Amino acid sequence: MKEKSIELAKIWSNNPYFDELDRSEIKTLLEDETTNEVELIERFHKDLEFGTGGLRSILGMGSNRMNKYNVRKATQAMANVVKDSFSGELAAAVSYDCRKYSDEFAKEVCMVFAANGIKAYLFTELTPTPMLSYAVRYYNCKAGVMITASHNPKQYNGFKAYWDDGAQVTPPEDSMVIEAYNKISNWEDVKSMNFDQAVKDGMIEWIGEEVNESFYQEVEKAMVQPALAKEKGHQASFIYTPLHGTGYIPCKTASERLGYKNFKVVEEQAVFDSAFSTVETTPNPEDPKALKIAVDRMLAENIDVAYGTDPDCDRLGVVVNHHNSPVYLNGNQIAFLMLYYLFEQHSLRGTLPKKPLVLKSIVTSDLQTTIAEHFGGEVKDTLTGFKWMAAAWRELEIKDTDHTFFFASEESFGYMPRNHVRDKDAVTAMVLMNEITLHYKLKDMTLVDALDQIYDKLGYAQESLIALNFEGIEGQQKIARIMDHFRNEHGMHVGTERITAFKDFKISKKTNLLTQEESELDMTQSNVLGFEFESGNQLYIRPSGTEPKIKFYTMVKVKEGDLETKKDIAQKQIDLIEKFIMGTVETL
């Protein structure tokens, strides 16, 4: 591996296709191969993989790094598949976040599309992922690209690939793009043209304000009680941090348009900053440390709710001021509040559609199923990732289903309250949470009170996530060992929990461990494991598709006792499962 990596590094350092300044970065590393051996191997031991959603990696020169050359290559692969798949006028929409080189990479994408005869629509400023998805649909594009590494650390950037429905690419197109990407072995096969010339030729067009206005109008249609906000929106208060990302203008604009006048922003974190210099940890709203400034201000100024979004504004975090104490809601709890509110309010108003369909990932709480069925709705599970939910809905649209899209979510702080966007949409989700907060505040309730009310009525559920980070080649090997162990050596118990069924989504098979009966799982094959326990609790395990992590999702239900007793029992059950997981991982 070392010799191959060094050889490839030398080829890159001498290839005139790459800019001199970029080649000098590699030459500097090669000047001391011994000291820089690990770094050279990490950069050049393989080509950066075009995964099922695109590219994501640490920035830098190298075959396994995120740089403008790999961005061009990925765009050329998409262009090849677009031209093979569609006829007539072809177009793609492009946006980007605040990360280092994001604006440059977005222009590179446009130049490659333009050189391939595909018109590129480019946002004039950094813009959230949901608005990119919307632009694909607005312009009837055949593809889209969002330059972002989502909530990853600052040294990362990425390339999210979208198809003509505004969702991230799914089968069979994802495999076609991956195949096209892997076939490109000669950099000269990647077409590009001068940006200014492409603009002059009409092959690159700046996206105008009319798209933003249309998007805001769709956001407003997702609300159930817009008149309530116009009349009493000032009675609820919010503090929001965009974590230096794209959400600042859209979230503030959408909230204020609807009447939420007490919508404050953490100004020092509204500045676009690729280093995320005011964020204590990664810019991830799932991490309480990332929301510290907003939460401190929420408590100091007695504000009702604090929000945070990641750099591309597709994930939403919510913290509740519950009697002067911060309560950090997890992704499942936020979804419970949205889903219950939407069902209840539409039912009361007689506006609940026929056969409302809720989409969720397999690692998202089954309490959503309980909520939906309580109001006469249906739930469809998919693999983790909004691309699979969007694909499921698209399939039903093609079949002219009599279902009506109602809501989609996954536990990792992703929500799609309306299908004008076909991906996670923190803008619409935040404005909906504004309305829910106001609705309950007028009843003298916090969102925590509202959540407990749902638990009292429909049962208690608690979820937990362990996300273990393993970097580099050794990390990949560790993750593989962990998956292999739980796939092949799980036995009949996870801690004190007795396993009744084992699901291996890699081979689409579910095994009843009590009867040894096997059945097929009706989902695209994926490296995911699922355990159903005798208690009704569940555990899912999967490697992340975008980060060097392995994730363990524990989902617990408790039926007996009052609410506080249920919470105590649930936590103890989760603790035992997690203790077993950590003990096992340490030995592998």
Q: Could you read off the pLDDT of 77-93 as tens digits, one per residue?
A: 999 999 999 999 999 99
Rounded Cα–Cα distance for residues 148 and 160 (Å): 7
Beta-strand ranges (E) seen in 424-575 are 460-469, 493-494, 497-504, 509-512, 518-520, 529-533, 538-543, 549-558
Residue 95 CB contacts under 8 Å (≥ 6 apart), including other chains: 106, 122, 123, 126, 127, 128, 129, 131, 132, 135, 144, 145, 146, 147
pLDDT digits (tens, 9 = 90+) for 1-35: 889 999 999 999 999 999 999 999 999 999 999 99
Average pLDDT over residues 447-454: 97
Global pTM?
A: 0.93
Structure token pair of residue 110: 């446009």
Helix (H, G, I), strand (E, B) or coil at 63: coil
Query: What pLDDT does 398 receive?
Result: 87
What confidence category does residue 182 fall into, taking pLDDT thresholds of 50, 70 and 90? very high
SS3 category, 71: helix
What domains appear along the chain, each with residue ranges and CATH number?
1-42 (no CATH), 46-207 (3.40.120.10), 223-457 (3.40.120.10), 460-586 (3.30.310.50)
What is the band of 271 on the pLDDT scale with cuts at 50, 70, 90? very high
- At 397 the pLDDT is 87
Q: What's the mean pLDDT when you consider all of the chain? A: 95
pLDDT reported for residue 471: 87
Residue 52: pLDDT over 90: no
* pLDDT for the residue numbered 472: 86
3-state secondary structure of 122: strand
In b/e form, how buried is each residue of 440-477, taking b as 16+ CB within 10 angstroms?
bbeeeebbbebbbebbeeeebbbbbbbebebeeeeeee
- Three-class SS state of 172: coil
Q: Rounded mean pLDDT of 305-321? A: 98
pLDDT > 70: percent of the chain: 100
Is pLDDT above 90 for 542?
yes
pLDDT tens digits, 457-467: 999 999 999 99
Confidence of residue 528 (pLDDT cuts 50, 70, 90): very high
pLDDT of residue 53 exceeding 80, the answer is no
pLDDT at 238 over 90: yes
By CB neighbour count within 10 A (0-12 exposed, 13-18 middle, 19+ buried), where does 105 fall? buried
How far is 357 from 373, CA to CA, in rounded Å? 10
What pLDDT digit, counting tens, does each position of 395-445 carry? Answer: 888 887 889 999 999 999 999 999 999 999 999 999 999 999 999 999 999
Q: What secondary structure does DSSP assign to 14-52, as a single string?
A: H-TTS-HHHHHHHHHHHTTTTTTHHHHHHHHSSPPP--S
What amino acid positions are annotated as catalytic residues? 150
Judge whether residue 57 has pLDDT over 90.
yes
Least confident of 187-201, 323-337, 535-549: 535-549
Percent of the chain at pLDDT > 90 equals: 93
Summarize pLDDT for 555-577 with one digit per residue, the tens: 999 988 899 999 999 999 999 99
Averaged pLDDT, 320-331: 97
